[in-house]
Amino acid sequence: MIQNLNQQNNNYWQNYKSGEIPTVPQNFPEELLKKVNGPILDVGVGDGILAEQLAFKGFDVYGIDIAKNIISENLRRQSRVKYSIQDVTSKTTFLSNFFSLIIFRFTLTNIHKESWKKLSHEVVRILKPSGMVWMLEPLVSESYKKRYGLAVNFVKDKNCVYVFKDKELANKINSKNDLEKAIYENQVSRIVKHYTVEELKNIFNKLRLIDHRTIKVISPSGYVLNTFEGIFLKNTSPRKMF
């Protein structure tokens, strides 16, 4: 019914209002920061809270987002972060081998499989040798089982979830017909993807996963969400971070 999932999500973010979704996390792992020796890129920077904390600590931080309104709002604060409107699923303006660290926080969840290959290529291009990717992204969670089962009727991908303009609506959708009606009535804001660890490893198969763990996060709609916190490295040997 929705032909291009990425476009659906892009449309949502263009109308996003600052503060609608809480920033998670609001702090960065201090132990990981000790390993950073160059510029940092926050992909899907959103409200800029984390990026500006890192810049305040003295790091050279860049923040990109596809939403013009988000970047415009961030630029008005005149912080130390270098903000720009860019899409990591196409070629960015950054030099090759430039970043020491690239951050993904609940950003990949909005990017569907037709864009994974381009995203992976661009990340590898702009990440310098021995650079790191740190990510916090949702994993498949038992609390979403019913919603996965309903979404698969309309989305050719496993473990996707329809997110509604009214977050209370999620608990009222109990059948394929309910969901079809909500889609038809334009109640859907976006369709997000929950990953398996293997899917994330496959997307970033040119990098090495050196450490990861699963933590619990409560979603804006109140569901318990298994969340992947992991570190990928480019061209380096394994070492533990967590």
Structure tokens that stand for 92 in this block: 């960015």
Evaluate whether residue 189 is within a structural domain. Answer: no
Evaluate whether residue 34 is within a structural domain. Answer: yes
Evaluate whether residue 164 is within a structural domain. Answer: no
Evaluate whether residue 12 is within a structural domain. Answer: yes
Whether the Cβ atoms of residue 104 and residue 137 lie closer than 8 Å to each other: yes
Evaluate whether residue 156 is within a structural domain. Answer: no
What's the total number of domains in the chain?
1
What is the rounded CA–CA span in Å between residue 174 and residue 78? 46
**Binned average pLDDT, 10 residues per bin, the chain of 242 residues:** 61 65 65 92 93 94 93 90 95 97 94 93 97 96 95 91 90 95 92 95 96 88 89 73 50
Domain encompassing residue 53: 5-138+196-233
What is the rounded CA–CA span in Å between residue 110 and residue 194? 9
Determine the 3-state secondary structure of 130 from DSSP.
Answer: strand
Evaluate whether residue 56 is within a structural domain. Answer: yes
DSSP E strand stretches across 66-167: 82-85, 99-105, 127-138, 160-164
Q: Residue 1: what pLDDT?
A: 41
Q: Residue 228: what pLDDT?
A: 96
Structure tokens that stand for 85 in this block: 């409107």
Whether the Cβ atoms of residue 91 and residue 71 lie closer than 8 Å to each other: no
Q: Residue 177: what pLDDT?
A: 97
Q: CA nearest 221: which of 21, 19, 26, 5?
A: 21
Q: Residue 31: what pLDDT?
A: 84
What is the rounded CA–CA span in Å between residue 176 and residue 183? 11
CATH number, position 98? 3.40.50.150
What is the rounded CA–CA span in Å between residue 161 and residue 170? 10
Evaluate whether residue 49 is within a structural domain. Answer: yes
Q: Residue 2: what pLDDT?
A: 42
Chain-centroid distance, C-alpha 151: 20
Evaluate whether residue 13 is within a structural domain. Answer: yes
Q: Residue 18: what pLDDT?
A: 63
Q: Residue 221: what pLDDT?
A: 73
Strand order in the sheet with 224-233: 82-85, 61-65, 40-43, 99-105, 127-138, 224-233, 208-218
